[in-house]
Amino acid sequence: MDNDSSTPTAAGPVPAKQHIRKMPVNWWLKKPAYLRYMVREITCLFVGGYAMFLLMLAARLDKPEAFETLLASPLAIGLQWVALPFAIYHSVTWFNLTPKVLVIWRGEDKLPGFLIAGAHYAGWLAVSAGLVYFAMSGGTDG
Amino acid sequence: MATTDTQSSTKTMKLEVFRFLPDEGEPPSFQVYEVPYRDDWVVLDALNYIKDEIDGTLSYRWSCRMGVCGSCGMMVNGEPKLTCSAFLRDYYPQQIKVEPLSYFPVIRDLIINMDHFIDKMGEVKTWLIPAEDKPIEDGEYLQTPAQLAKYKQFTMCINCMLCYSACPVFGQNPDFIGPAAIALGQRYNLDSRDGGADERADVLFSDEGIWECTFVGECSEVCPKNVDPAGAIQMAKVTATNDWFKSFLMPGGRKKSGGNK
Amino acid sequence: MARSNEPAFWSLFSAGGMVAAFLFPAAIFITAYMVPAGKIEADNLRMVMSHPISRLLLVAMISLPLFHWAHRFRFVLVDLGIKGFKLPIAILFYGTAVGSTICAAYLLLV
Ligand code: SF4
Ligand code: FES
């Protein structure tokens, strides 16, 4: 603080004229990390959208034709293909951040983050395989 | 503008420096200075050269020149950096743009107003509030290495405020308590000798506290001391959530924070 | 300053994020690829989805991710500089999630 004698201290006078810089609306384009963050946050639109699609399917559970028509709709299929990469990006970013939220101590050491994230990835794989297996369990042949 | 020459080198480099002189009544502008390039120089050395040899009106803060005092933080090519640790050789031969730390009000040139940050640390009570009063004769407060490990990382903070300048949430809302103040709150909350978690919770766990954070995570990326404020905030969210649910289970519903030691 | 009730929304946000992270890529793969490609008959999927366990799972897969969306999108708007209308936005978003949850529970469980 030795460069400017007029620099106010906490106890000193508040400067009359401060320059306030405005946050640009496109701040999230200014740094790759911010852009990645924004994409991560925007995945919620696709997550929410697919939940709505599941609700539409649920509403057709007792109407075989309507159920099939919805699943065969090119619009629905197209939108889901757009949503898929965002859903995967959500999963990846979500699991990568788990070690920050789930901190496990063993004595003086933290359980290494890659173990916690790794366990989630392993679980993801197992659950995905399980879901596909479950969906096929009706069996195309019977 | 001086042309350069030092004995060892004739190479030069350009620094584009943010200028704001409130008394002149002019809007802020950028001024380009040419400084000698030395591969052992940091951005702060270049600024000192400008101040000593070219333009004595340039104002900025610094003190230790060794990454401990936390006063020389500035934006270097848009990234918050300790200028005493940012080497010219990492930028040479490109021009370097030096600006005051983002989002803070600018008082003059590269000097920002940090009053608000100091106030926030006061609100969070970033000091030890003893869990039990013990007369000096009873000796020291003992702590195991495992207890120390829980909060040690957060003690490394040098209050340089780089994390604030990396935080778009702070950029949108200057009242956000912010990364360093929250990490320092956690530093004491997680200390086995401390009993102040409940007092701190009223600020830390308020809407201007941890709940404003959307986990951008850049605070931890720019921190020169590996404090990981983003991690501290997420851990605090878990603690606050546990407290919140417990407050329904407990008769009377008074919210108490155990600080999750 | 008062302690926030945000933990209620953050818990739902986190639970929804977890459910979506674990299940949605595979679910989209099923509904957008396996069924249209004929690997699974639509009617078979319908039958599998009608199973009581599936119904419970579906309610969770509809409700929680919508709370996840509501919470995250609320903050996206703040990130983009929309600072006003906090209460109406919150009511609209979380209201959508609550409404859809009621719909899903009614359709699947009643
Ligand atoms: S947390 Fe890191 S970046 Fe933030 S003030 Fe402390 S040392 Fe600086
Ligand atoms: S001058 Fe002290 S940290 Fe840079």
**Assigned domain for A16 exists:** no
Which residues of chain A does B228 touch, with a Cβ-Cβ cutoff of 8 Å?
100
Which residues of chain C does A61 touch, with a Cβ-Cβ cutoff of 8 Å?
46, 49-50, 107-108
**Assigned domain for C45 exists:** yes
**Assigned domain for A105 exists:** yes
Alpha-carbon span A84 to A67, nearest angstrom: 21
Kindly give, in sequence order, each residue whose CB lies less than 8 Å from that of residue C57, ignoring residues fewer than 6 positions away: none
Q: Which domain holds residue A130?
A: 27-134
Hey, is the C-beta of B53 within 8 angstroms of any chain A C-beta?
Answer: no
If pLDDT is split at 50, 70 and 90, which confidence band does B3 have? very low
What tens digit of pLDDT does each residue of B113-163 get?
Answer: 999 999 999 999 999 999 988 888 988 889 999 999 999 999 999 999 999
Which residues of chain B does C75 touch, with a Cβ-Cβ cutoff of 8 Å?
214
The token duo for B108 is: 């003059």
Torsion of CA B229, B121, B63, A19, to 10 degrees: 90
Judged by CB atoms closer than 8 Å, whether chains meet at C1 and B255 is answered as: no
Average pLDDT, chain B: 92
Residue B178, phi then psi, degrees to nearest 5: 90, 165
Q: What pLDDT sits at residue A140?
A: 44
**Assigned domain for C86 exists:** yes
Length in residues, chain C = 110
Q: What pLDDT sits at residue B2?
A: 47
ipTM of this complex prediction, to 2 decimal places: 0.96
- Ligand 2 atom, smallest distance to B83 CA: 4
Alpha-carbon span A86 to A83, nearest angstrom: 5
The more confidently predicted of residues A141 and B185 is B185
Hey, is the C-beta of C7 within 8 angstroms of any chain B C-beta?
Answer: yes
What tens digit of pLDDT does each residue of B11-33 get?
Answer: 999 999 999 999 888 899 999 99
- Ligand 2 atom, smallest distance to B61 CA: 1
Q: What pLDDT sits at residue B223?
A: 98
List the domains of chain B with CATH numbers: 12-112 (3.10.20.30), 115-249 (1.10.1060.10)
Hey, is the C-beta of C105 within 8 angstroms of any chain A C-beta?
Answer: no
CA of B196 to the centre of ligand 1 (A): 22
Q: What is the percent of chain A with per-residue pLDDT over 70, rounded to a whole number?
A: 85
**Assigned domain for C59 exists:** yes
Q: What pLDDT sits at residue B256?
A: 55
- Ligand 1 atom, smallest distance to B73 CA: 8
**Assigned domain for A94 exists:** yes
Cβ-Cβ pairs closer than 8 A, B with C, add up to 48
Task: Assign B175 to helix, strand or coil.
Answer: coil
If pLDDT is split at 50, 70 and 90, which confidence band does B250 have? confident
Average pLDDT, chain C: 95
**Assigned domain for A21 exists:** no
Q: Whose CA is nearest to atom 6 of ligand 1?
A: B157
For B85, the enclosing helix (H) or strand (E) is: none
What tens digit of pLDDT does each residue of C77-100 get?
Answer: 999 999 889 999 999 999 999 999
Domain count within chain C: 1
- Ligand 1 atom, smallest distance to B70 CA: 8
Interval B38-55 mean pLDDT: 97
The CATH number for C87's domain is: 1.20.1300.10
Interval B33-38 mean pLDDT: 96
- Long-range contact set of residues B196-200: C-beta below 8 Å, sequence gap at least 24: B196/B125, B196/B128, B196/B129, B197/B257, B197/B258, B197/B259, B198/B256, B198/B257, B198/B259, B199/B125, B199/B129, B200/B124, B200/B125, B200/B257
Q: Which domain holds residue C66?
A: 7-109
Q: What pLDDT sits at residue A138?
A: 65
B255, pLDDT greater than 60: no
Interval B232-239 mean pLDDT: 96
C60, pLDDT greater than 90: yes
**Ligand 1 site, residue B225, Cβ cutoff 6 A:** yes
Hey, is the C-beta of B202 within 8 angstroms of any chain C C-beta?
Answer: yes
Cβ-Cβ pairs closer than 8 A, A with B, add up to 94
What tens digit of pLDDT does each residue of A55-86 get?
Answer: 999 999 999 999 999 999 999 999 999 999 99
**Assigned domain for C102 exists:** yes
Q: What pLDDT sits at residue B1?
A: 46
| b/e per residue C33-56 (b: at least 16 CB within 10 A) | ebbbeeebbbebbbbbbeeeebbe
Antiparallel, parallel or unpaired: β B12-19 and B96-99: parallel
Q: What pLDDT sits at residue B257?
A: 60
Q: What pLDDT sits at residue B9?
A: 52
Which residues of chain B does C2 touch, with a Cβ-Cβ cutoff of 8 Å?
202, 206
A111, pLDDT greater than 60: yes
**Assigned domain for A4 exists:** no
Ligand nearest to the CA of B68: 2
Judged by CB atoms closer than 8 Å, whether chains meet at B150 and A10 is answered as: no
Predicted model pTM: 0.91
C1, pLDDT greater than 80: no
The CATH number for A109's domain is: 1.20.1300.10
CA of B158 to the centre of ligand 1 (A): 6
Domain count within chain A: 1
Q: Which of A25-39, A107-121, C1-15 has the lowest mean pLDDT?
A: C1-15
